[in-house]
Structure formats: structure tokens, C-alpha cells
Chains A and B, each alone.
Chain A
Amino acid sequence: MAANSEVYVLGGYQTDFGRNWTKENKHFSALMRESVLGALERCEIAPEEVESAHVGNFAAELYCMQGHLGAFFTEAHPAFSGLPTGRHEAACASGSIALLAASAEIEAGRYDLQAVVGIEQMKTVSASEGGAYLGTAAWYAEEADGIEFPFPKLFGRLGDEYDRRYGLKDEHLAEISKINYANAKLNPNAQTRTWYMNKEHALCRTEDNPAVGGRIRIADCSQVTDGAVCVFLASRSYAERYARGMGRKLEDIPRIKGWGHNTARLRFADKVAESRDAEYVLPHVRSTITSAMKRAGIENVGGIDGIETHDCFTTSEYMAIDHFGITAPGESWKAVEEGWLEIDGKHPINPSGGLIGAGHPVGATGTRQLLDAFLQVTGQAGDYQVEGAKNFQTLNIGGSGTTSVSFVVGV
């Protein structure tokens, strides 16, 4: 296993995930531009300093009829013309895959300062058309073709698998939804910060909260939205200079202390068949989480002050709870009942509101999680700050538990 990484996180910028860029009549190049220029300004980095850029995006070809997204980075500022750039795709984990590639290049000594942009514009199409596009994150022909909203159904099956192995109550899922929505109210960039939500609504069984896939109802889902997040990753030598220039100590600049990355088989049925006799329903996700901790030199979740996890649906957060080791396998409900997941709880999860509350512009989510982890460990998360956080861990998942990436960010 690779030694502790020396990749520093200098910060970044998130667009307001409540915005609908189609309603503003904007091309996604505007989304790219706002996030990149915002990050330069926020981090006080001159554009000429940036040496390379990685763009994480899932499906601009479908949503925006546009490929070659790495090249669009150069449109954000004249100084970027000529920079080496590229685009990375791994469904909802696209942003994290871009981060992995950028950090690997820093570790290899190729570049000292990298921009990583996660970006997705999704409000360009209707909900059902977009639902079909999202189906391409599964094995489309096998699991999505001809099915309306395939992903809620796949993650409904994750809930069913928990129910079969360990038992699962809807009220625990509703509580997860409630916490994410409540946290989102504290996050000025969250998509749902003004939405009406409470636990009773999450549990209500009326047309205001319709079922969209088995046990998954609207309140259990993250919602599609438009958004971009740009972060800067740097080598140790750049971070030293940067810290000096900003009048800070190098120790105060967060590092990516550890990472994990696994890819399971595409079809959900194959995943659960593989794990039939295992403790964990999605063992490769578990392995992603534990290898990130191990690389960070952190023994278990007790050394993690907070988590930004991939709650594309309440069932995926329910899965994350035991997979992080917060409870024994199958006992995620205990953490829900004990109040451990709340911002001031023992194991805060998604203080930002997560995907359910903050919004899920697919390709931007991994970078959004990393930026939130950065804000937490530098004490800049405002109303959703976890007090005294030093180490935060992310979990970003593409497909039905297929590609998983996790980072431990800490000071």
C-alpha cells in the first residue's frame, strides 16, 4: 500500500446547487467558468499558477450534447490556453475519479498545482428523460432499458436486501431523510434549503410523497440539479509556498491523508450474489472505506470526526453507516435511533445535507464532498460546522455500489 500521500487541498468554490442554469438560459461553460473563477478568487490563486486541470463529468453528451469537457476548462480564463487537461467519467463517482487522477499526478511529481472541476448540468431535460440518462450508470440494456426511473428501483432493492438479511424499517430511512434536509437548511449552497420537509412528510404515503421505486419514495431521493465545484490540489512544495504567502502554517493546510478506490461488478444482482455469505452487503464499498482509513493511518471510524457520504437514496446512507463501521453490520438503525448522525452527534454524517439535501449534480458530487471536508477541517463550514473537526472522510459511489471512492481529508 502506498505511503501517506503528500497531496494538499487548498480550497475551492461551489456554485449554488439551488440554481437552474437552464432557466437562466446558460450554457454549461458558464457553470464551469463561475466555479473556476470563484475558486481562484476564494483561494487567492493567480490563474497563471495552475499547471493542469481534470474535469469530472458523467453525461454532458446526453444532457448538453457536448463532449470534450477537459477542453472547456481552457475557456474559463485566457491564461489556461495550452494547459494539459482531461475529462474523467465514472457515473456519480466522476468527480472523485478526477480527484484521484489529479492527486496521482501530483504524487508522481508531474505537476505542483492542479485544478479539479466536478460539473453537471441536468435541468436541460425532463425528469423521465434524465432518469433514463442516469440509467446508463447501470448496465443499461440489462437493468434500465424500458424502465422508468431505474435508479430508485435499484436502490430500493438495496433496502430490500438489508430487509432480507437484517430487517429494515421505513422510519429509519425517513429519519435519515429528515436529518439531511435539516442540515441542508444550514448550508447556503444547498439545493433544498428552502424546501418543505420533516420526518412526518418523509413518512407520509400520499401523492405529495409518491413511491418511485419499491420502498423508495420522493423524500428518500436526492434530486437532480445543476452544479459545479472546483478545488485546487497541490504538492508539498507548492503548499509550503502557498502557506507562506497566505501567512499560514503548512500544518494548517489540509492534506488528502488517504484514499480508497474499488470497482464492483456492474449489475446489482451480481453484487449481492457475490456478497451472499459476507457480513457486508457491498464488501467492495467497505474495502474502499477501510483502505482510505488505513492509508491515513486511522484505525477505525472513531478517528474520523465527520463523514460526507453518498446518500443518493436513504438506503445508500443506511448502507454507509454500517460499512463505515459506525455500527455492526446490519445495525445501522442503532446509529439513527441514538442520534449519532446529527451535526453534534457522535458520528456526524452529511452536515452539508448530503446528496439528498445539498443536491446531486452527478459529476460534481465527489468534488463537493471533498470541498465540504476541506471546509470542515479548516473550521469554515459556517452553520453546518462540526465543532473541532480535524479529519473528515468522504464516500462517493457510482452506479448501484459499483465504483466507490473515499478520501480522508485532515490537518
Chain B
Amino acid sequence: MLLIRCPYCQQTLPELEFTYAGQAHVARPDAANKQISDEEWRDFLFIRTNVKGPHYERWRHAHGCGRFFNAVRDTVSDRFLITYKVEDPRPELSDLLEKSE
């Protein structure tokens, strides 16, 4: 079982308390201020990266504090490089890889 650190609870807890919630940092197009093409909507709604390796993704501490948070997980080894709060900036992958070595 994976052990996942919840950035809100500040505890490392079993995977069964969490649910996966898809790719992180998918920004909605700014439709209020400019014309959005069909291709941009398609990309926002359906196109995901399907990374082999470190993947920025969302998780939810469903059976705990209930909060969504972001994580970087290696999809090959299932190793979590970092978990961080949704309001925190996206960490650079090169920094994370450096730190994990």
C-alpha cells in the first residue's frame, strides 16, 4: 500500500484514505475575456498528458480532512516526489529530482 503525506493533516497516511483526482494544473480557458476556439476547449476538457515518469496530479484526502491537494508521483515506480497544497506554486521538476537523489 502507498503511504501518502497529506499537506493539510501533516501526516503520512495509508492510500486507502485517499482518492485519485486526475491531472493537476489544468487551467480553464479565460472565456470571459477572449474567444476560445473549439481546439482549446477540447484540450482543456479531454487532452491529458499520460506521462511515463513524474506526473503532476491531484489527490483528495477523502476519508480524512476532505481536501484536494497536488502531488508529483512517478507513474513507473509509484513513488511520491512531493505533495503540496493547492494554493502552493507548481514546483519545478528539476528541483524535485535533484532533491530526491
- Do A and B originate from a single complex? no
B residues apposed to A, CB below 8 Å: none
A residues apposed to B, CB below 8 Å: none
